[in-house]
């Protein structure tokens, strides 16, 4: 009996040790080649220079990007809850990588591969911060490994609130708008403090595919994606069933801002 156990477990132990050593070597190799992330602690994105008329009215905004920086404390809860529900519902509990979400994506992608469907991603908000600030959009295993390592390190260096602040001010939301404040103006001509859940959910629907779900391009498709976010908000108990039904039945109402963003600040 002891001989049988020894014979059975010896290959398993060897395989486990080999796998562990391989993982450690891979982590050590990539850890020495990832970018410096410490500057994120004090990073503020470039914002615009503003021109006012003699009467004090805003005439134009000179900037390389449509962006308005908003500190975390000034971002309304409905905006935060909408993006968490759309992108990373376990954000405040995971260490940078969501193991549950990763396993779910792996299982779903087996079926996607067999049926020639698009692969499902599993990037947390922290991983998206790592990619958007420090890595390229290259689709490769190497980048995903670096992204995961950076996510763990960023979580240890920054608070959850700071990570969300970086994400919500940096994320591209279509129509040239970067960050939730600029997107709120671009699509609704409103301050983010004026947004309701219906509008916040639409903004949160955009990171997945900003061009595809752009409401100026395809309002029906944008509404379909927005309604999925509203459903997630309901599932996560951020809104009630009654609110979900009310918001889902609401049409998308857009109002493009009159604020002018020039493409290059050198014109100023």
Q: DSSP secondary structure string, 24-93?
A: HHHHHHHHTSSPP-GGGGS------EEEE-TTS-EEEEE-SSEE----GGGS-HHHHHHHHHHH-TTTTT
Distance of alpha carbon 74 from alpha carbon 56, whole angstroms: 24
Distances in whole angstroms, Cα of residue 32 to Cα of each of 29, 36, 265? 6, 10, 37
pLDDT band for 18, please (50, 70, 90 cuts). low
Residue 105's nearest CA partner among 125, 121, 117, 85 is 121
pLDDT at 43: 84
Averaged pLDDT for residues 20-42: 65
Is 217 within a domain? yes
CB 45 within 8 A of CB 169: yes
Which residues are CB-contacts of 11 (< 8 A; sequence separation ≥ 6)? none
pLDDT at 65: 72
pLDDT at 262: 44
pLDDT band for 99, please (50, 70, 90 cuts). confident
Range of the domain at 63: 43-267
Is 62 within a domain? yes
Averaged pLDDT for residues 3-19: 54
Is 3 within a domain? no
Which residues are CB-contacts of 124 (< 8 A; sequence separation ≥ 6)? 87, 88, 90, 91, 94, 96, 97, 98, 101, 151
Encoded tokens for 37: 């992330």
Distance of alpha carbon 83 from alpha carbon 150, whole angstroms: 21
Encoded tokens for 104: 């779910």
The answer, yes or no, to whether residue 199 has pLDDT greater than 90, is yes
Run of H or E residues at 177: strand 177-178
Among 38-52, 82-96, 198-212, whose mean pLDDT is lowest? 38-52
Give how many domains the chain has, as a whole number.
Answer: 1
Per-chain mean pLDDT for the chain? 82
CATH of the domain at 179: 1.10.3810.10
Residue 171's nearest CA partner among 163, 180, 162, 161 is 180
Distance of alpha carbon 230 from alpha carbon 205, whole angstroms: 9
pLDDT at 42: 86
Distance of alpha carbon 84 from alpha carbon 71, whole angstroms: 17
The answer, yes or no, to whether residue 237 has pLDDT greater than 50, is yes
Is 31 within a domain? no
Largest CA distance in the chain: 94
The answer, yes or no, to whether residue 147 has pLDDT greater than 60, is yes
Is 171 within a domain? yes
Q: What is the chain's alpha carbon radius of gyration, rounded to the nearest angstrom?
A: 22
Query: What's the CA dihedral at 150, 177, 168, 57 to 10 degrees?
Result: 140
Write the burial class of residue 61 (CB in 10 Å: 0-12 exposed, 13-18 middle, 19+ buried): buried
The answer, yes or no, to whether residue 139 has pLDDT greater than 60, is yes
Q: Which tens digit of pLDDT belongs to each residue from 47-95? A: 655 555 556 555 555 556 788 899 999 999 999 999 999 999 999 999 9
Is 37 within a domain? no
Calculate what percentage of the chain has a pLDDT beyond 90: 54
Residue predicted with more confidence, 12 or 188? 188
Distance of alpha carbon 140 from alpha carbon 24, whole angstroms: 20
Among 65-69, 102-106, 128-132, whose mean pLDDT is lowest? 102-106
């Amino acid at each position: 009996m002891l001989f049988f156990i020894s014979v059975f477990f010896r290959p398993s132990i060897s395989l486990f040790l080999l796998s562990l050593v391989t993982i450690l070597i891979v982590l050590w190799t990539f850890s020495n080649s990832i970018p410096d992330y410490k500057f994120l602690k004090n990073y503020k994105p470039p914002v615009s220079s503003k021109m006012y008329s003699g009467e004090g009215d805003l005439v134009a905004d000179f900037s390389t990007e449509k962006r308005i920086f908003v500190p975390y404390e000034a971002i309304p809860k409905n905006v935060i809850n909408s993006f968490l529900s759309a992108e990373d519902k376990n954000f405040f509990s995971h260490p940078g990588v969501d193991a549950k979400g990763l396993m779910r994506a792996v299982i779903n992608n087996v079926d996607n591969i067999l049926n020639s469907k698009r692969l499902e991603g599993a990037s947390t908000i922290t991983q998206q911060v790592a990619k958007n600030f420090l890595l390229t959009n290259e689709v490769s295993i190497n980048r995903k490994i670096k992204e995961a390592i950076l996510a763990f390190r960023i979580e240890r260096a920054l608070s959850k609130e700071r990570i969300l602040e970086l994400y919500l001010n940096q994320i591209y939301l279509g129509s040239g708008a970067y960050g939730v404040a600029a997107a709120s103006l671009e699509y609704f001509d409103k301050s983010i403090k004026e947004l309701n859940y219906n509008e916040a959910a639409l903004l949160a629907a955009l990171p997945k595919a900003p061009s595809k779900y752009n409401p100026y391009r395809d309002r029906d498709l944008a509404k379909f994606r927005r309604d999925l976010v509203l459903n997630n908000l309901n599932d996560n108990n951020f809104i009630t069933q009654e609110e979900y039904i009310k918001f889902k039945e609401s049409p998308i109402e857009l109002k493009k801002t009159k604020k002018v963003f020039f493409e290059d600040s050198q014109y100023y």
